Structures are given as C-alpha cells and as structure tokens.
Amino acid sequence: MKAAVFFDRTVPKFIMVGLINTLVGSAIMFVLYNAAHLSYWCSSACNYILTSVLSFFLNKYFTFGVRHWSAFMVIAFVLTIAFSYLTAYGVSKPAMNYVLRNSPQKIRENAALLAGMCLFTGINYLGQRLVVFKKDAAKKE
C-alpha cells in the first residue's frame, strides 16, 4: 500500500479526536496515578476504558463518517483498543524501566505512561483505519 493511502483527510480528524481524548484521558490517568495513588495498570486502564466509548462515537461518525452499525465493528473496535493498549503499555513500561533505570520508580512509570499514550495512538489509528472502519474509509476516497 502507498503511504498516501494512510495519510488522507481522516488523519487530521483522528488527531482532533485524539487530542480531545488525550486531554480527558491523561487528566484521568495522571490524577489517578499521582493523586489517588492507583497503580500504573489501573490508572492507565481507567483512562482507556472511560475514553474508549467517546472515541468510538467520535471516530465512527466524525473521523470515518460511518453511519451503520455492525457487531463486527463493535467487536473489532474493542479488540483494537485492547490490542493497542496492551501492546503500547506493555512495551512502554519495560522500555522506560530500562532507559531510566537509574531514576525513581515514579519517574519511570510517569515516563512509561506518556510513552504508552504515544504508542497507543499510532497503533490504534492503524487498527481503526485498516480493520474497524476499513470499508467505509475506503469508500470515502
């Protein structure tokens, strides 16, 4: 596939939705981790569970312009979110533990939360674009 296929009018829309989700989700995640003292996994999971519903509707209607519903779409969305989350945060924590091994745990885990957010965004976009909303996004081109 050509690179231009991945960069079309859905990218800026996905970024706008992502910014909204990032503002809401990062506030949830960092407050839960730093103020409520919940664990790395609990704080990051709460973020994605709460913002995934918002993300589904905004991306479905606004980003990809999909108007119909299907069981496949909902299941694929949930699996894409789960895969993106587990991959991004599963990679980020050991990576930051290695890179920042001489730093306090709080610094390593905050860095891992930030890195996980970035990885999640890229993986999630590809999953939504290529799997969840594939047919409808292709029709709009």
H/E stretch holding 71 reads helix 71-99
pLDDT at 108: 97
Question: What CA–CA distance (Å, rounded) separates 41 from 39?
Answer: 5
**pTM for this one?**
0.78
**Position 23 in a domain:** yes
The residue range of the domain holding 59 is: 10-134
pLDDT at 121: 87
Please count the helices (runs of H) and the strands (runs of E) in the chain.
6, 0
**Position 141 in a domain:** no
**Position 57 in a domain:** yes
**Position 140 in a domain:** no
The domain tally of the chain equals: 1
Q: What is the pLDDT along the chain (141 residues), one digit of tens a residue?
A: 455 556 678 889 988 998 888 899 889 999 999 999 999 999 989 988 889 888 899 988 998 888 888 899 999 999 999 999 999 999 999 999 999 999 999 999 999 999 998 999 899 989 988 899 886 444 444
**Position 125 in a domain:** yes
The answer to whether 54 and 103 are in contact (CB under 8 A) is: no
The answer to whether 60 and 133 are in contact (CB under 8 A) is: yes
**Position 116 in a domain:** yes
